[in-house]
């Protein structure tokens, strides 16, 4: 198994390289430790607006010329803004790696952030907020995040109409100048590259980018709020989402949480799919997932169903989590573990997946973590571990949100199984 | 067994019962993917059975003579498979992606599923799941738009109804009707078995023979005919949505046409990521989203230009789509524009070549549209053949300035066609 190289440049830029010489591609991710949680409260949406505006013009090129330059090397690019980070991901043929990095450095270091580009992207963000109203799943995620995570971690990248209206070019420029430093930057590279070449290229293009002082690594506080809310909307289906605090990505119990999710929702034999969909025909979509901001973790259950099946779907979802502590079998446990291990071999065949994993290792663990080390922890998880985990992370404070034509039935709390205290409405 | 050439990654084989087997060896990977392509989909249905192909796909997971539905999903998960199935207008595909060591177990399970029992006691429960899926699709503006577009553009043709079917047709469907459809369509002479990954072809073929060799052919023949692409204006006013989605649909070439990469390049230049639409429509504030999509099947194709915007922006967005289409047809694309699109396509092909599952999806198209697998190098050669001239030829052959079909869905009745 290939070993990753981990180092930091004099500029403070931390990087990791996973050389995969047999591949025909290189993937890299540049991650800045700045996200929506860093936005001033009156300028929500600022971070994503900056991300969208950065590549719309540099000191030497218009936005269109820059996009053309990327296309001329066939770069596959993506960018994103999360709670704590802004990421710029790119996949290219190996001969274009240097050029791809040069072009990234150009817009990350010398953006013009012109008034026109800011105005257009602000307008687009406003329209995306309206478009979100036509996306039931996306809207549900937004509403639940605000409800569950509180005022800092619960922010939506698009911000709000009111706060977007306040953002001016100067705000973007200040936010960029204050936070786009080498000390807040991480680079992960995987594919057909030599680590020494990567170090040289990163130094060539990013040396002298602001302060080398490490920053942006402290977790934000989670303000979990266990309450139930209904958001009325004219939809065919009711969207249901439930969450409660779990553990963060570097917690010793994280592998246990991962396996627990696998048992609930890892494959079609998972409990939620089996009990909610296959046995009862209540839904088409049902699932469980987790989110792990630094220092916090959140477990989620979700489903969408026609309004008349909403109450039964909700109680079945919750019942299945509780039942884990009662009748989990060794076979279920083994299947969940096998699923996690096997996905390393299947998805691991793609360079992009290897790069993404390396980038997450840097962010969460501060080092590349060998796949074997992670899988060994997963493979050690036992039924007793899962019972202990469920016991230590009780679902006595649930955050519940529904979006659609009707709220959960008024008597629904009576049907909530033991372990689920009545939640506030 | 046919090895296409000494250095070819492909092995082809046909069982006596007609089942085609296609194997691509990928020595550098640790995984393998396998799947059954069934040459049946929504366009093979009769109107009163609209949705049967997709419903059947769900029922294929519900039990065989050897396994209950729970045993099927448990066995998939025991081998750590990434598995699923999908149904489209012209095909249904079942697949599993596993570590290479598990490929025979994967083949055995998929093969067993293809001889489904369609248990009557699971039929009603699964019907509820399908009705929920239809309900879910009605909450997605783009899904509503696409279904409405197909219904109007291909009116009078099997491509007009949604793959999911309608509430009424799915509700009325009986297990016996589905069984008859299944017997006719899921026969080995109407199926292709595809494997990609780190596998040993002779061993795979022996194994497939042992699992599928006794299946009986049905002599099923396709009675597909190409549709007429209708012109006109159709508006679906739905005030529960906030945005207006507009689409212009033009007749174009089929997926089997040698110039299909040229059509795709034209779509990318007009409405891809770094496209004319992006810079001249989106970044000009005319509409927040605009794109071009070439929709193609073996015997027909259409070019769809679309925009999503605020209802009050509809006039401007529609005009901008038409203007860009006219400029493309009347002018000449720049060589640099073509080269950029080709470079991106090359990277995409390199990404697809990395993982067995992605190769599997490419091989489905190859078998459907070309009757044989094609190497990444062959696909690259087709991309290389695209030029500014070929794009000009394409837009002369399939002009985007003719009377098209305009579809509009959203809160506004736009354009208002009331006399």
DSSP per-residue string spanning B179-240: HHHHHHHSSGGGEEEEEEES--HHHHHHHHHHHHTTPPP--------PPP---EEEEEE-TT
Q: Which chain A residues in 164-223 lie under 8 Å from chain B, judged by CB atoms?
A: none
- Are both A23 and A74 inside the same structural domain? yes
Does any domain span residue B255? Answer: yes
The shortest CB-CB distance from A339 to any of B80, B279, B356 is to: B80
- Are both B252 and B160 inside the same structural domain? no
Does any domain span residue B218? Answer: no
CB contact under 8 A, A350 and B355: yes
Q: What is the DSSP code (8-state) at residue A14?
A: E
| Residue pair A373/B126 in contact by the 8 Å Cβ criterion | no
Q: What's residue B388's pLDDT?
A: 97
Q: Which domain holds residue A236?
A: 228-353+367-415
CB contact under 8 A, A70 and B274: yes
Cis, bond preceding B415 (omega within 30 deg of 0): yes
Q: What's residue B100's pLDDT?
A: 95
Does any domain span residue B197? Answer: yes
Q: What's residue B8's pLDDT?
A: 84
Q: Poorest-confidence range of A301-305, A326-330, A369-373, B348-352?
A: B348-352
CATH number at residue B301: 3.30.830.10
Q: Which domain holds residue B189?
A: 2-212
pLDDT band at A415 (very low <50, low <70, confident <90, very high): very low
Does any domain span residue A222? Answer: no
- Are both B348 and B242 inside the same structural domain? yes
Q: Which chain B residues in 355-374 lie under 8 Å from chain A, judged by CB atoms?
A: 355-358
Q: What's residue B7's pLDDT?
A: 76
Looking at the structure of chain A, the number of domains it has is: 2
- Are both B200 and B237 inside the same structural domain? no
Residues 6+ apart with CB under 8 A from B5: none
pLDDT at residue A94 is higher than 90: yes
pLDDT at residue B373 is higher than 90: yes
Residues composing chain A: 425
| Residue pair A181/A209 in contact by the 8 Å Cβ criterion | yes
pLDDT at residue B112 is higher than 80: yes
Q: What is the Cα B389 distance to its own chain's centre?
A: 29
The shortest CB-CB distance from A339 to any of B31, B77, B126 is to: B77
CB contact under 8 A, B78 and A133: no
Instruction: With beta carbons under 8 A apart, name residues in chain B contacting A79.
Output: none
Asked if the C-beta of A72 comes within 8 angstroms of chain B's C-beta atoms, the answer is yes
Q: How far is CA B229 from CA B144, B149, B234, in A?
A: 19, 11, 14
Measured between CA atoms, the residue of chain A closest to residue B98 is: A346
Nearest to A351 by CA among B355, B398, B316, B40: B355
The shortest CB-CB distance from B136 to any of A70, A281, A304 is to: A304
Does any domain span residue A424? Answer: no
- Are both A378 and A239 inside the same structural domain? yes
CA torsion sign, B209 to B215 to B221 to B225? negative
Read off the pLDDT of residues B210-237 as tens digits, 9 standing for 90 and up. 999 999 999 877 789 999 999 999 999 9
Read off the pLDDT of residues A219-268 as tens digits, 9 standing for 90 and up. 998 889 888 999 999 999 999 999 999 999 999 999 999 999 999 999 99
β-pairing verdict for B191-197 and B31-38? antiparallel
| Residue pair A267/B73 in contact by the 8 Å Cβ criterion | yes
pLDDT at residue A423 is higher than 90: no
- Are both A103 and A248 inside the same structural domain? no
Q: What's residue A345's pLDDT?
A: 87
- Are both B7 and B147 inside the same structural domain? yes
pLDDT at residue A145 is higher than 70: yes
Q: Stretch A280-305: mean pLDDT, rounded? A: 97
CB atoms within 10 A of CB B340: 25
Higher per-residue pLDDT: B168 or A422: B168
Q: What is the rounded distance in angstroms from the CA atom of residue A304 to the CA atom of residue A283? A: 6
Percentage of residues in chain A with pLDDT exceeding 70?
A: 96
CB contact under 8 A, B351 and A128: no
Of B161, B178, B212, the position where a domain reaches its end is: B212
Ramachandran region, residue A159 (left: φ > 0; alpha: ψ -120 to 50; beta: rest): left
Q: What's residue A194's pLDDT?
A: 97
- Are both A285 and A342 inside the same structural domain? yes
Q: What's residue A269's pLDDT?
A: 97
pLDDT at residue B149 is higher than 60: yes
Of B212, B244, B261, the position where a domain reaches its end is: B212
Smallest CA–CA distance, residue A312 to chain B, in Å, is 14
Asked if the C-beta of A236 comes within 8 angstroms of chain B's C-beta atoms, the answer is yes
| Residues forming beta bridges with residue B38, ordered by sequence position | B92, B191
pLDDT band at B363 (very low <50, low <70, confident <90, very high): very high
Instruction: Render the burial of A44-78: b for 16+ CB within 10 Å, e for the rest.
Output: bbbbbbbbbbbbbbbeebebeebbbbbbbbbbbbe
Higher per-residue pLDDT: B8 or A379: A379
Does any domain span residue A218? Answer: no
Q: What's residue B297's pLDDT?
A: 96
Nearest to B42 by CA among B365, B367, B297: B297
Residues 6+ apart with CB under 8 A from A147: A154, A225, A227, A229, A399, A401
Q: What's residue B6's pLDDT?
A: 65
CB contact under 8 A, A74 and B141: no
| Residue pair B51/B177 in contact by the 8 Å Cβ criterion | no
Q: What's residue A425's pLDDT?
A: 32
Does any domain span residue A220? Answer: no
Read off the pLDDT of residues B292-346 as tens digits, 9 standing for 90 and up. 999 999 999 999 999 999 999 999 999 999 999 999 999 989 999 999 999 999 9
Asked if the C-beta of B306 comes within 8 angstroms of chain A's C-beta atoms, the answer is no
On the CB side of B340, how many CA atoms lie within 13 Å of its CA?
23
- Are both B240 and B199 inside the same structural domain? no
Looking at the structure of chain B, the number of domains it has is: 2
Read off the pLDDT of residues A328-377 as tens digits, 9 standing for 90 and up. 999 999 999 999 999 988 988 899 999 999 999 999 999 999 999 999 99
- Are both A184 and A325 inside the same structural domain? no
| Degrees, nearest 5: CA angle A254-A243-A404 | 150
Smallest CA–CA distance, residue B80 to chain A, in Å, is 4
| Residue pair A299/A244 in contact by the 8 Å Cβ criterion | yes
pLDDT at residue A420 is higher than 60: no
Of B212, B241, B258, the position where a domain reaches its end is: B212
Does any domain span residue B353? Answer: yes
- Are both A28 and A125 inside the same structural domain? yes
Residue whose entry in the numeric block shows the structure tokens 């649930």: A398
- Are both B318 and B171 inside the same structural domain? no
Percentage of residues in chain A with pLDDT exceeding 90?
A: 92
CB contact under 8 A, A134 and B141: yes
Q: Stretch B112-140: mean pLDDT, rounded? A: 97
Q: Stretch A307-315: mean pLDDT, rounded? A: 96
- Are both A198 and A322 inside the same structural domain? no
CA torsion sign, B262 to B265 to B267 to B269? negative
Q: What's residue B416's pLDDT?
A: 84
CATH number at residue A303: 3.30.830.10
Asked if the C-beta of B124 comes within 8 angstroms of chain A's C-beta atoms, the answer is yes
Measured between CA atoms, the residue of chain B closest to residue A71 is: B340
- Are both A175 and A48 inside the same structural domain? yes
- The mean pLDDT of chain A is 94
């Amino acid at each position: 198994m290939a070993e990753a190289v981990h180092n930091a440049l004099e500029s403070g830029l931390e990087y990791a390289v996973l050389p995969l010489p047999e591949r025909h591609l290189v993937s890299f991710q540049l991650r800045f430790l700045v996200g929506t949680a860093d936005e001033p409260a009156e300028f929500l949406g600022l971070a994503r607006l900056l991300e969208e505006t950065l590549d719309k013009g540099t000191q030497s090129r218009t936005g269109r010329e820059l996009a053309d330059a990327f296309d001329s090397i066939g770069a596959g690019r993506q960018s994103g803004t999360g709670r704590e980070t802004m990421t710029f991901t790119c996949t290219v043929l190996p001969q274009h790696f240097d050029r791809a990095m040069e072009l990234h450095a150009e817009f990350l270091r010398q953006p013009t952030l012109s008034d026109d580009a800011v105005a257009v992207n602000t307008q687009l963000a406003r329209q995306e907020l309206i478009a979100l109203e036509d996306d039931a799943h996306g809207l549900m995620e937004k509403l639940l995040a605000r409800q569950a995570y509180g005022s800092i971690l619960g922010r939506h990248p698009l911000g709000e109409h009111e706060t977007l209206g306040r953002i001016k070019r100067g705000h973007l420029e200040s936010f960029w100048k204050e936070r786009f430093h080498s000390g807040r930057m991480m680079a992960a590279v995987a594919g057909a590259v030599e680590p020494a070449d990567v170090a040289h290229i990163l130094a060539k293009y990013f040396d002298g980018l602001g302060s080398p002082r490490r920053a942006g690594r402290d977790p934000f506080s989670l303000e979990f709020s266990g309450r139930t809310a209904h958001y009325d909307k004219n939809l065919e289906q009711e969207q249901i989402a439930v969450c409660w605090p779990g553990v963060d990505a570097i917690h010793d119990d994280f592998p246990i949480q991962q396996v627990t999710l696998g048992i609930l929702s890892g494959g079609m034999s998972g409990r939620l799919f089996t009990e909610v969909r296959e046995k009862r025909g209540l839904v088409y979509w049902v699932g469980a997932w987790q989110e792990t901001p630094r220092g916090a973790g959140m477990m989620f259950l979700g489903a969408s169903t026609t309004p008349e099946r909403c109450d039964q779907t909700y109680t079945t979802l919750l019942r299945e989590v509780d039942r884990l502590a009662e009748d989990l079998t060794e076979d279920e446990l083994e299947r969940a573990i096998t699923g996690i291990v096997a996905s390393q071999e299947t998805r691991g065949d793609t360079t992009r997946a290897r790069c993404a994993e390396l980038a997450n290792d840097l962010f969460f663990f501060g080092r590349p973590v060998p796949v074997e080390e992670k899988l060994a922890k997963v493979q050690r998880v036992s039924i007793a571990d899962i019972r202990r985990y469920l016991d230590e992370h009780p679902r006595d404070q649930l955050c519940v949100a529904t979006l659609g034509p009707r709220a959960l039935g008024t008597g629904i709390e009576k049907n909530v199984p033991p372990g689920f205290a009545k939640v506030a409405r | 067994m046919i090895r296409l050439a000494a250095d070819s990654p492909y092995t082809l084989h046909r069982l006596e019962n007609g089942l085609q087997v296609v194997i691509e060896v990928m020595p550098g990977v640790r995984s393998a993917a396998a799947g059954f392509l069934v040459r049946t989909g929504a366009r093979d249905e009769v109107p009163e059975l609209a949705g049967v192909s997709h419903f059947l796909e769900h029922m294929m997971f519900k039990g065989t003579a050897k396994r209950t539905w729970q045993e099927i999903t448990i066995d998939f998960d025991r081998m750590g498979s990434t598995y699923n199935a999908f149904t489209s207008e012209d095909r249904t595909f079942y697949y599993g992606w596993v570590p290479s060591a598990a490929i025979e177990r994967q083949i055995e399970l998929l093969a067993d599923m293809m001889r489904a029992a369609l248990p009557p006691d699971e039929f009603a429960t699964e019907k509820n799941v399908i009705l929920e899926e239809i309900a879910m699709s009605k909450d997605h503006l783009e899904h509503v738009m696409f279904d409405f577009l197909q219904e109007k553009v291909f009116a009078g043709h099997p491509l007009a109804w949604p793959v999911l079917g309608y509430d009424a047709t799915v509700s009325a469907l009986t297990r016996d009707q589905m069984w008859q459809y299944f017997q006719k369509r899921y026969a080995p002479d109407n199926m292709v078995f595809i494997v990609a990954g780190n596998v040993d072809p002779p061993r795979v073929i022996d194994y497939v023979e042992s699992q599928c060799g006794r299946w009986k052919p049905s002599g099923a023949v396709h009675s597909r005919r190409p549709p007429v692409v209708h012109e006109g204006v159709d508006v679906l006013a739905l005030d529960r949505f906030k945005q207006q989605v507009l689409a212009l649909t033009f007749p174009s070439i089929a997926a089997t046409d040698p110039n299909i990469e040229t059509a795709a390049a034209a779509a990318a230049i007009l409405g891809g990521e770094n496209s004319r639409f992006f810079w001249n429509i989106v970044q000009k504030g005319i509409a927040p989203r605009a794109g071009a999509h070439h929709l193609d099947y073996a015997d027909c194709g259409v070019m769809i230009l679309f925009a999503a915007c605020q209802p009050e922006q509809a006039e401007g967005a529609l005009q901008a789509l038409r203007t860009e289409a006219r400029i493309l047809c009347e002018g000449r694309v720049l060589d640099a524009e073509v080269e950029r699109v080709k470079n991106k396509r090359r990277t995409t092909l390199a990404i697809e070549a990395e993982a067995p599952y992605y190769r599997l999806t490419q091989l489905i198209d190859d078998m459907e549209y070309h009757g044989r697998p094609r190497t990444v190098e062959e696909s690259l050669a087709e991309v290389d053949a695209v030029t500014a001239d070929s794009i000009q030829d394409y837009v002369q052959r399939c002009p985007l300035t003719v009377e098209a079909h305009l579809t509009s869905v959203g809160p506004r009745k736009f354009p208002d066609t009331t006399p």
